[in-house]
A and B are shown apart, each in its own frame.
Chain A
Amino acid sequence: MIYLNSFLFCGGICLLGQIIMDHTKLTAGHITTLFVILGAFLDTFGLYDKILLWAGGGASVPITSFGHSLVHGALTKAQNDGLLGLFLGMFDLTSAGIVAAIIISFFLSLIFKPRD
């Protein structure tokens, strides 16, 4: 069942992105930025946590979960450390993805040649 929910949620987000792209002049960069902000916004009222329970991996794969994880990490830290926690914990959950992306693309760029 959770596979079907994953399919529907992730597919729906991608469909939304495609509709925005086809009917406006926004590029892929604009859309991913927009979706990160959307994910952070949905987490303001705790909605994204409910979506994560409902859709599982399907809600973790789109870039919206990046915005959600930023807010989530910041708030988890803020519970102990107050407002300073917003600064300390911002990258707690997303650092795995960012560091992996940096390291993998650095080493692969040393190995591979750019394609025209």
Chain B
Amino acid sequence: MEQKKYNEIVKKHTPKEDSLKNGFWAFISGGIMGMIGQFLITFYVRILDVTTTEATSFMIITLIFLGCLFTCLGFFDNIVNFCKAGLFVPITGFAHAMMSAALEYKKEGMVTGIGASMFKLTGSVIIFGVVSAYIFGMLRYLLFGGNI
């Protein structure tokens, strides 16, 4: 009985997440991120005279730098609270997770803090990425001969 009452009170006071509004802003902000990516690729191809593949690498480095810098300056969290998935699904979320882990464990020292804990949040992305890429790459290699 006590537990039931408690659950009711918790339910009443949990802030209601409006999933329609969240989805809308995630769509808009994610779309804008995609357009920024495309704009940067076009920009680098035109300015630096490189191929699209290289320009993609430049674009990703730029976005990672911006994600890290905004995290350090402290207003990335405010934007994420508003845009949610629109910012952590793009590569900026990867940069943000890495940067905030590095900042958070800084006080534990260079080696045991920053060095050991930098991949605390993003490690799973890399581990599962490599494992799944190995499985699916092997599958494609065996099934289709790996022709690209």
7 shortest interchain CB distances as A-B pairs: A10-B34, A14-B30, A57-B38, A11-B31, A58-B34, A70-B133, A57-B37
Q: Given A17-B89, A32-B125, A63-B93, decide whether A3 and B35 contact each other with a Cβ distance below 8 A.
A: yes
Q: Does B134 contact A (CB under 8 A)?
A: yes
Give every chain B residue within 8 A of A79 (Cβ-Cβ): 146-148
**Nearest residue, chain A, Cβ from B141:** A78
Task: Please determine whether B61 and A97 come into contact, CB atoms closer than 8 angstroms.
Answer: yes
A18 smallest CB distance to B (angstroms): 4
Interface string of B127-148 (1 = CB under 8 A from A): 0111011111111110110111
Give every chain B residue within 8 A of A83 (Cβ-Cβ): 138, 141
- Could you list which residues of chain B lie within 8 angstroms of chain A, going by C-beta atoms? 17, 19, 22-23, 26-42, 53, 56-57, 59-61, 63-65, 68-69, 72-74, 84-86, 88-91, 93-95, 97-99, 102-104, 106-107, 114, 118, 121-122, 124-126, 128-130, 132-141, 143-144, 146-148
> What is the total of A-B residue contacts with beta carbons within 8 Å?
263
Task: Please determine whether B94 and A63 come into contact, CB atoms closer than 8 angstroms.
Answer: yes
Within A26-65, the residues touching B (CB, 8 Å) are 28-29, 31-33, 35-37, 40-41, 43-46, 49, 55-63, 65
A43 smallest CB distance to B (angstroms): 7
Q: Is the interface of A mostly helix, strand, loop or mixed?
A: helix
Which of B60, B84, B103, B140 makes the CB contact (< 8 A) with A44? Answer: B140
Give every chain A residue within 8 A of B138 (Cβ-Cβ): 83, 86
Kindly state the separation between the CA atoms of A10 and B86 in the bound complex, as whole angstroms. 9
Task: Please determine whether A32 and B93 come into contact, CB atoms closer than 8 angstroms.
Answer: yes
**Nearest residue, chain A, Cβ from B140:** A44
**Nearest residue, chain A, Cβ from B38:** A57
Kindly state the separation between the CA atoms of A75 and B68 in the bound complex, as whole angstroms. 31
Task: Please determine whether A105 and B118 come into contact, CB atoms closer than 8 angstroms.
Answer: yes
Kindly state the separation between the CA atoms of A13 and B140 in the bound complex, as whole angstroms. 24
